[in-house]
Structure formats: structure tokens, C-alpha cells
């Protein structure tokens, strides 16, 4: 357990070095350690906990505080050592620093764009449009008896015409998986059943059953409509997270696409040759074959 936790802490240290720390007033963010004159603030410890694997995030901070502080202390000591050895002047360090800087700049640019456009008002407006397009939907509650042949289905309809109980016939004769529940399919909306089945079910009157077999890829159905209702429209509380996520995705994608318009981009193959070179050679060979 301790080894796994220590590994998780190390991962937090490596990740946290690439993430900004929000500025807080001194009273809100006291010093929790000083290493070689460098202060470690409480906010850094709190952030470190949020970056732990899920199983460690719900542990009370006080219980893992010493371990988190030690991890951050070790990070400062290791960084001081690296500076002393001038590792920050190596090509490898500069290359990695440039990569991290690009990631941070991308994150800040996207965060700024999303924050300005994915507002509470924008999310609510999206929900209103969604509601207007969907709103309450009609649903039907149906049962069916599935038979292999048209003659078998006609025979079942004849029995129903004589007063036979639909549920009992479904249990005895249906070949479908719902036979055990008397052919009960529950409530369903449009688009959830095969088209011919859906069309027939929605056209039936409550309590009525089909007067002729309904053929589908599964066989021949005898369908009975038990009930119909209007499904409740989703609430904003139920939909907010999805609306916000979809809007965030759209804003981020549009932002990157807009930036691409003014960017000069060159692509290359894995061997370093221009990306179009191989395609051009294929085209040349194709032309020669035509000749």
C-alpha cells in the first residue's frame, strides 16, 4: 500500500511541475515548509492531493499531509541539485522545457477562449434550443407475440378474435425474448424499434392489437398497444453537464480550426521526406501505366 502511494506521489510531483498554482492571499495560503529558502504553500499541497489517483483523493488531507509535504520538499531539493549541476543548460532539458511550455500555452489559450464563450448564459441558451428541438416526446407501451411464419401469426390473431388472453398467448407461443413477460416491451419512443414495428405500434389505438401479421427481419409480429404517454422533457439540472461539455468541445474545436487558417503547416513522412512526395510518386507511376 505504502509503495503504491509513494509511486503515486512521485507521479503527482512530475505532473504538478507543469501546472500553474493559483495566486491566493497570504492569510488564505500559509507556508507549510521552507526548503533552502524556498517556500512551499498550502495551495501546492492541496493541488498535489487533487492530482493523486482517485483512491487517494478522498483521504482526509491531514492523514497524508506529511507524505505530500515530503514529496514537495524532495522536489525542491532535486530541483536545486539539478540547477547546481547546470542540468537546465543541457539540450535535453531545453527541449523538454520547450515542450512543456507549448502545452501550457495551449492550455492557457484554450482556457481563455472557453471561459469567455462557455458561460452560464451560453449553456442555458443551448439547453433552451435543445428543449425546443426535442421537448416532450410521445412514447407507447406495447406487447408483441413473435412467430416464425405468417400462418402461425394469423392463427394467433384468430385466437385473440375469439377472446384469448394476449399475455397468456405470448407466454405460450412467442419465440421472442420477451415471451416470459407476456411479450411486454415496456414504453419506447420513436427510433427505438425497427421502422415497420414502430409505425404499426404508434398507429394502434390503446387496447387494440394488429388485425394482420407485421413482418420484420425477426419474423411475424402480432402487436398490442397497452398505453401511450408524453415523456417528461429533461430539466436543465439533468442536462447541464452534457450541454456544457458539448459546448466546450465545440468552442475548443472551432478555436483551433480558426487558428489553423492563418498558420503555415508543413508535414513530413517518418523518413523526413515531404508528406506529398510518396503520393506524387504513386501518381507518376499511375500516369506511366496509362501511357
Mind listing the pLDDT tens digit of every residue in the chain (291 residues)? Answer: 443 444 444 444 444 444 444 555 556 899 999 999 999 999 999 999 998 888 888 889 889 999 999 999 999 999 999 999 999 999 999 999 999 999 999 999 999 999 999 999 999 999 999 988 876 788 999 999 999 999 999 999 999 999 999 999 999 999 999 999 999 999 999 889 999 999 999 999 999 999 999 999 999 999 999 999 988 788 999 999 999 999 999 999 999 999 999 899 999 999 999 887 444 445 444 444 444
Helix axes 236-261, 91-117, angle to 10 degrees: 130
| Residues paired with residue 230 on neighbouring β-strands, in sequence order | 138
Closest to 222 (Cα-Cα) out of 214, 230, 233: 214
pLDDT of the residue at 14:
43
Evaluate the CA torsion angle 171, 176, 181, 184 in order and state its sign. negative
Task: State the span(s) of the chain assigned CATH 3.10.50.40.
Answer: 138-230
pLDDT of the residue at 212:
97
pLDDT of the residue at 291:
47
6 vs 9: CA distance, rounded Å: 5
Q: What percent of the chain is helix, strand and coil (3-state, nearest 5)?
A: 60, 15, 25
Architecture of domain 138-230: Roll (3.10)
Amino acid at each position: 500500500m505504502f509503495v503504491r502511494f509513494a509511486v503515486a506521489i512521485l507521479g503527482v510531483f512530475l505532473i504538478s511541475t507543469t501546472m500553474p498554482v493559483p495566486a491566493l492571499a497570504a492569510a488564505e495560503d500559509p507556508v507549510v515548509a521552507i526548503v533552502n529558502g524556498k517556500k512551499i504553500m498550502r495551495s501546492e499541497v492541496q493541488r498535489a492531493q487533487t492530482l493523486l489517483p482517485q483512491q487517494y483523493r478522498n483521504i482526509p488531507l491531514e492523514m497524508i499531509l506529511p507524505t505530500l509535504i515530503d514529496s514537495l520538499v524532495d522536489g525542491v531539493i532535486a530541483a536545486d541539485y539539478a540547477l547546481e549541476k547546470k542540468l537546465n543548460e543541457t539540450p535535453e532539458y531545453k527541449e523538454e522545457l520547450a515542450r512543456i511550455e507549448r502545452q501550457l500555452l495551449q492550455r492557457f489559450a484554450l482556457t481563455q477562449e472557453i471561459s469567455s464563450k462557455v458561460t452560464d448564459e451560453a449553456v442555458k441558451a443551448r439547453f433552451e434550443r435543445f428543449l425546443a428541438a426535442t421537448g416532450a416526446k410521445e412514447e407507447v407501451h406495447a406487447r408483441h407475440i413473435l412467430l416464425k411464419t405468417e400462418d402461425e401469426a394469423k392463427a394467433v390473431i384468430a385466437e385473440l378474435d375469439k377472446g384469448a388472453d394476449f399475455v397468456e398467448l405470448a407466454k405460450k407461443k412467442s419465440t421472442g425474448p420477451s415471451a416470459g413477460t407476456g411479450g411486454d416491451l415496456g414504453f419506447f419512443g420513436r427510433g427505438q424499434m425497427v421502422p415497420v414495428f414502430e409505425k404499426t405500434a404508434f398507429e394502434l389505438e390503446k387496447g387494440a392489437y394488429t388485425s394482420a401479421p407485421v413482418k420484420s427481419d425477426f419474423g411475424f409480429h402480432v402487436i398490442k398497444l397497452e398505453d401511450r404517454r408524453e415523456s417528461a422533457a429533461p430539466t436543465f439540472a439533468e442536462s447541464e453537464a452534457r450541454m456544457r461539455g458539448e459546448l466546450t468541445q465545440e468552442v475548443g474545436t472551432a478555436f483551433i480550426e480558426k487558428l489553423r487558417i492563418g498558420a503555415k503547416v508543413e508535414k513530413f513522412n517518418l523518413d523526413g521526406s515531404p508528406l506529398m512526395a510518396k503520393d506524387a510518386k504513386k501518381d507518376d507511376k499511375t500516369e506511366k501505366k496509362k501511357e
